[in-house]
Structure 1
Amino acid sequence: MNKRISDGLLDPADGEARNLEKMLDIADALMRHVEQSSGDRGAAFEQFRRAAILEERVRQRTRDLEATLKQLNDANSATERARRDLSQAIEAIEEGFALFDPAEVLVLCNSRFCRDLGDVRRQLSPGITFADYVEVVSRSALLALPSGVTPNAWAAERMRLHRARQVFNVGLSGDRWLQVSEQRTADGGTVVLQTDITDIIRMERSERGKLLDDQARMIRATLEHINQGVGIFDANRRLAGWNSRFAQLLDIPLRLLRRGTPFKLLADRIARTATLGDGFPVDILARWVEGTLPRGRLSFELQHSSGIILDVFAQEMPGRGFVMSFADVTRERHAIQAMIRANATLEARVASRTGDLAAALAEAERANSARVRFVAAASHDLLQPLSAAKLFVAAARDDAEATPMRGTLEKAHNALVSVEGILGALLDISRLEAGGAAVDIGPVPLSVLLKQLTDEYAPIAARKGLRLDILPCSLTVSSDPTYLRRILQNLISNAIRYTNSGRVLVGPRRTKGHVRIEVHDTGPGIAADQQQAIFREFHRIQGSASASEGMGLGLAIVQRACGLLDHGLALRSVPGRGTCFSIDLAVVAQHAKPAYREATPTIQEEPGDNSDRIALLVENDLDLRRAIALLLERRGVSVLEATSGEEALSLLEEIGIVPDVYLVDQQLDGTLTGIETVQALHAEYGERPTRILTANRTPQTRLSADAAGIEIMYKPIAAEALEAFVLHAG
């Protein structure tokens, strides 16, 4: 190899800086030499100089490249560390984690991703596409597919959820559950998170089971509280539920009272001691139970060998099960038979001796008066347990939330409301027929009354697709506010019930010194030969009386109340076009003090915190007391309970707490009445918002309460009215 002239001048051991300095000295010497030379020697030196400059540039570029390579190596090291840290961080996540790139190819995942699908987990490695991942998972034997769903159907639904980015749950074998959620990355990729929610699902299931157990206990308490026997059968005609009255009335041995007992076995046992009344065909009942007949409502009588007569009512339930109720109507039937025998005897005596007519008529009137008193007393005695049943069912219904049980409880509550309406009508008829109804005539502003009727019936008409127009009126009339409201309620509800399409119009017409309130409808109208009969009790034009369709008492109450108040009642009707009822009322000066104070109670949807509100409840009926306390405690109200006035006074003296409101029954244990108890409480602790709770609607009770300045809340108590008073009184 040829040696360069400069090899002896430059020593690598001197370092780049020293050698550079030597080169500069050599270049300087050469430049001076060039200045002294010319021609070819000058050109050679110029080439040498350019070579030296080029070599320096190469060295500089080499140093720059080395620096760049060092930075690249550092960056690669940092990237590797970041990737390693990312992998460790993903592995530390408690959930299953997977990252798919924008092309839906798996980039990385942690060990928890699809860990519970051990039979397919090894197939889920980076590089697999999302669609293949879903296909593999759908074929796993550890995936708990919903009933009737194939792997292909599951995979199609999974891809739909992937496109919709929805959060969903996946069931696994062994009653395990995963919650799967997906998120988009900034570059269009997909992050899949799998969270084990098995403990949460099991806890919710346990809590739901406890809630259903509590509701079942409430329903059981309600069934045990009523005086009817109730038997509930499932779709397979097997016994599913019953109360103790069911076994008592039908004399069924305890060994047969167990869940799953076939209906036929119970029917055969009952047939030994009881027979169907009124010639009711046995095969009709059997076919109804088997379901080969349309399961409409069924009603018949059972006559027991002991002489007991049972009124049986059967109805189908959702799910093809059915319920049967058994009511002891022995007394009623014996009373009817006694009346029939009395009438037969009366007819014989009339035929033989006309002179005994007066005595026979007097006996008949006494029997009718006894009937009226019996109905009134029976209705009154039912109001107490009905209040408790309504409040228990209302509490259970509110706790049920959005479950199938809520619908059943809603129907039970509506049935109790229907019973309440029937009992109210029976009490009204009883008082009006007995002549013991007391009226409180005073100024009644029609503006308030008509506004409340609008609020009450507009939703009912709207649900039926009818237009209800109640025109306003600023006049004040002379009437009893309670009976006037009942009259208009009955007329408006009848108009809505019998009108299938069109409208119902309620409007006042001013006449000389009077105002006529007219109720028009576009219903089927009433034939002339029926216009007197419709005012009879239990008479309905389009069918028989029933709890659901109306008992046929409304117009009877209207006619008797108008007669008692001396209000003119008129009827005009054209079959096929509609009907108009009208009542005439006397107008009084508007400045007179109104007697009408009734208002529609309202309560908040969310009552807020009532933990500082205390109510004193004095009620001697245990079931009703517990029902009221349960309802109020659910609203956050603390309830102090007592069974008598003396116990209430002693309790407050002992604990030293003054309640915010008083709820006091009129008829109590001990010597003090409800009104006397309230007067003692007000005298000792000052006046507080108070209500007397009573089913006694006699004028004496109302006058005594008015004299003491205490308002009455009549039983059966409406849960909404009770909550509105307790939560907003003060």
Structure 2
Amino acid sequence: MTASLINPNDTPERQIEKLTKINAALMRRVEQAVDASGAAYAQFERAALLEEEVRNRTRDLERALDLLNDSNARLAEANRATEEARSNLANAIETVQEGFALFDPDERLVMCNSRFGLHMPDIRDGFRPGISFRQYVDLVSGSRYLSLPENMTSTQWAEGRMRRHQDDHVIFNVRIVGSRWVQVSEHRTPDGGTVILQTDISDIMRLERLERERMLDDQARLIRATLEHLDQGVCIFNNQARLAGWNQRVGEMLSIPVRKFSMGMGFFSLFEGFAQVSSYSSGITQEDIRAWVTSTETRPAISFEIWQGQNKTLSVHAQEMPDKGFVISFSDVSAERAAVRAIQQANEMLEARVAERTLELADALSEAERANASKSRFVAAASHDLLQPLSAAKLYIASIEPGQNPDQTHVIAEKARRSLDSVETILEALLDISTLDSGKAEVHRAPVSLGHILAQLAEELGPTARAKGLDLRVVPTDAVVLSDYTYLRRIAQNLIGNAIRYTSRGKILVGVRHRAHSVRLEIWDTGPGIAPEQRDIIFREFQRLESAASAAEGMGLGLAIVERACALLGHPLDLVSTVDRGSGFLVELAISHAPDFSGLVSNRNSSRNETGLGGLIVLLIENDRDLRNAMTVAMEAWDVCVLPVASGDEAMDLIGTEGILPDAIIADWQLDSGALGTDVLARIETQIGAVPSCVITASRTPTIIETCARQGWQLFHKPVAAEALRSFLSSVSQSIRQPLP
């Protein structure tokens, strides 16, 4: 196969032009060539053949040219139709009210209308056919008319736009400067191209914004109304920690002025003054709250409590919102916390009371065990100390014989009397001990003149002290204390008597030392003193440091009575002692500022004047026959005229019928048939006027004491001492014999 000198792809005109040039070249070559061997003819023949071939090719070229011209005509017609269709499409696209752009499957811009990119005049010239989709996005992201979202750069926006382009169907809104909005939508064509439509939705967005604002206003009013109806105080802060909403309750609860609440107020500026007057619950500080408010990370809800003053407690709860703002609420939980504190205090009090009761029960059990353990000893000692003087008295009386020397009989009778006095003293002490230990002792606290009691005791116990050669000094005092007269007198009497009993030489000093809100009764002696290991023993029953002492010198009950009486009255008792130098008993007494009536209660032994009682008429009202006879015999021995009766009616008959007016009256408190001697005395005084009177009773109740004090009657407790009864009659006799002024 020979190579062709003509390129079939050339146009017919080009092929003809080439063949013509080839023919001319061959002709020149034939004419000029000289071939001695007949080559010229061969060349001629070849040229002839070549010419024929040229003519054939020319005819082929002409036919091809005709076909080409026909094709060109049809192509021109097609191009015209295409241009017409393109023109119609462009015109149609231009009539669209939206921006339109078409990208081919290779992401190249094919065409767009004049409205495409209308809102971004700075980049419209860049929208030329052939640019890639990425170039289009970069142009849009770099436009100065694009309003980028807050905290977003143009690069970030472009990357996000390209990610959305991967979806089959895309629609989103783009904000343009000047409060305009464009909605962008993408659609895929069947061949994989992309159609972009840009729609101006500014009016729609404006209306939507107005509607949204209206709805927000309605919602805000609803929220405001809701907030105002809440019992909690609520504050709403935006993501810049600035005030965006609140209710009036929060200002009332936090005591913050209303003028401080304003939109945009900073959190720390609003609560600055409040934080300075509040304290936080355990584990929370102001730094913790500041860190939570200023944190840029996701914040978990926090709850804590704050206190204002002593009684106000607020519960605080802070919660983050989706936009990084937060809501903080305040609830007044003062009542709940006060109730909790009250319950805790009640629990603590109950626990303390249980512990106290447990200790009391333990003490009571120990006391009961101690009492039970000493019961036999106490009874044995009491029996021994009672039987000993009784036995002595019986022996003394049995030794009296008829016709015996009167002086010797008097001596024996006096010894028997002293033995019986010891029995009386022991019985009275045992009665006091029994009453105090039983817990049924009745106490009548009232203003008591301490100086009056001490003066009486000085007169009563002075002769005993002088008989032992002791100097008993009682310092006068005008102190009035709050105590029970009977028990206070018993305390002082036992302490002074105990000092006289155990002091062999020297002196005894009794006085009152004034303190801030009390006085202290002090009894000091120069006796043998008490060793430290014996100071608890001396307050036990029947305990005497001198074991050889006789019953007449004490049964060892005085200090036991003192300790129990002081405990009952709440008078602190103290002991100060030095061996071989002496002891001091100190009793703390509360001062009373009320008037004192104690001097009217009992004036037993107030006067030991031995003035004769001859001619004194005494009315004795006693229902017990033996006691009535004994008292009658005793008073008649003192040369007293006694009118003994057994009841109040007999006494009234004697006074009314016989017309006898007694100089003094002695009445038992409890008479037969439930009658009271105090009622009889009141009836007598109503009929004949006031008469010096005394009441005899075994009762120590406050009622009888108050009655006698109010009426001015003397009060003697059974058994009645003969000296006390004679002292009362002597005072009556003295008052009768005093000349009238």
- Do they superpose with TM above 0.5? no
Which TM-score band (shorter chain)?
0.3 to 0.5
Q: Which has the larger radius of gyration?
A: 2
Give the alignment's TM-score, normalised by structure 1: 0.43
